[in-house]
Amino acid sequence: MLSFQDVCKRYPDGTTAVDQLSLDISHGELVALIGPSGCGKSTTLRMVNRLVEPSSGTILVDGRDNRAYHPVELRRRLGYVIQQVGLMPHLTIAENIAFVLRLQGVAPKQRRRRAEELMHLVGLDPGLYLDRYPRELSGGQQQRIGVLRALAHDPDIILMDEPFGALDPLIREQLQDELKRLQKTVHKTILFVTHDMDEALRIADRIVLMRDGRIVQAAEPEQMLRAPADAFVAEFIGRHRMLRQASEVAVADVMIDNPVTMEVHAGLAQALERMRQRRVNSVMVVDSGGRFAGVARLEDVTRALEQGLPMRVGDVARWAQTAVHPDDPALNAMRQMLWYRVDAVPVVAEDGTLAGLVTRSALAGVLDDALRVTGAEPLAEAR
């Protein structure tokens, strides 16, 4: 869909803005370019629509060298959204949205119909807004119109250059969420430049972090958080974000929701056979209503059987030293494991029912990488 092949941009003074950049962006993918000021992210974006010409290398748009297009034709094929919005103040909202359609010779009624369709996509009433002028809209509403104008002629690729940078944080978050929702509906390929890592993590399918004109790491947000390529990436993301990412994971996200269970009235031999089949050394014991009644451990079940005691599994179940709620932070479960020196913690809902089980291994897969980046002691070494 969009491909950069060894692309460079050098200026006459010897400055290299983009250096041997190679990147393939798939159809329907939202890729965020991010990095410190002067890293080449905006230059990279502007080379796509030839506002900046590359010094060497090739940029393919739909498999065709973008230099094969006339610049005007190319720019009409692409959508473009910038921070300053750029709505024309003397045109109505409907006319702004359909401006490129007018240049393409689309009939007025069709242009109006297209503007109405797009307004519904972002939750704005066409009857209320289409005949207004940009000055009559808030900043957030104007930015929505800027996005709709980029969509109006149905381009396959949309370029967005820090489109939400001038808005206050609350409006920015609303528009970020709206963009993600819109992307699921229209399935456009979007190249999005931002200086804000929180924004990139929130909206992107893949993040491309640049430094000195080169790509340092290109990865999905989760992968970049869990496995930053080097110290620069970790520092740019921010160590505090790593820890916050770990602390924001809920118990419900990491728990095993179908642990091995037995009802309190089940026999000891049945419990032993269940443990053998499932290759575990304990079972969660519940009453007939699914309420947690304790943990039956292999050694306790075996001892009772050897003694020939007429007991049920509920009789040997021990109440757990600790339990967590599904909505608790997963780090709480980790702390409980370390404090009580156990390998698993039952997850009990407010009504007392067993919701699941958090194990050390389940926690480790989600939290270890984030904790390593912060310098905290990993789970596997924290005994």
For residue 192, is it left (φ>0), alpha (ψ between -120 and 50) or beta? beta
Residues 146 and 231 in one domain: yes
The reported pLDDT for the residue numbered 6 is 96
Take residue 314 and report the two structure tokens written for it. 């509920």
- Asked if 80 and 49 touch (Cβ cutoff 8 Å), the reply is yes
| Number of separate domains in the chain | 2
Residues 27 and 107 in one domain: yes
Residues 197 and 176 in one domain: yes
pTM of the model: 0.61
In the sheet with 189-193, reading across from the earlier edge strand, the strands are 79-82, 157-161, 189-193, 30-34, 206-211, 214-219
The reported pLDDT for the residue numbered 175 is 82
Residues 289 and 171 in one domain: no
**d(C-alpha 172, C-alpha 180), whole Å:** 12
Q: Give the amino acid at 34.
A: I
Please say which residue of 224, 243, 262 terminates a domain.
243
Residues 87 and 217 in one domain: yes
CATH code for the domain in which residue 234 is found: 3.40.50.300
Tell me the per-residue pLDDT of 97-106, one tens digit each, with 9 for 90 and over: 998 888 888 9
Residues 229 and 261 in one domain: no
Distance of CA 108 to the CA centre of its chain: 40
- Residue 313 burial (10 A CB sphere; 0-12, 13-18, 19+): buried
Residues 323 and 292 in one domain: yes
| Domain membership of residue 342 as a residue range | 252-381
CATH code for the domain in which residue 347 is found: 3.10.580.10
**Which residues of the chain fall below pLDDT 50?**
240, 370-371, 373-383
Residues 40 and 143 in one domain: yes
Residues 155 and 292 in one domain: no
Residues 42 and 71 in one domain: yes
DSSP for 191-249 reads EEE-S-HHHHHHH-SEEEEEETTEEEEEE-HHHHHHS-SSHHHHHHH-HHHHHHHHHT-
Residues 138 and 110 in one domain: yes
- From residue 272, alpha-carbon distances to 94, 132, 362 in Å are 72, 74, 24
- Asked if 267 and 374 touch (Cβ cutoff 8 Å), the reply is no
Please say which residue of 193, 214, 243 terminates a domain.
243
**d(C-alpha 343, C-alpha 337), whole Å:** 6
Residues 194 and 314 in one domain: no
Please say which residue of 218, 243, 268 terminates a domain.
243
Tell me the per-residue pLDDT of 229-269, one tens digit each, with 9 for 90 and over: 888 998 888 754 655 555 667 888 888 888 999 999 999 99
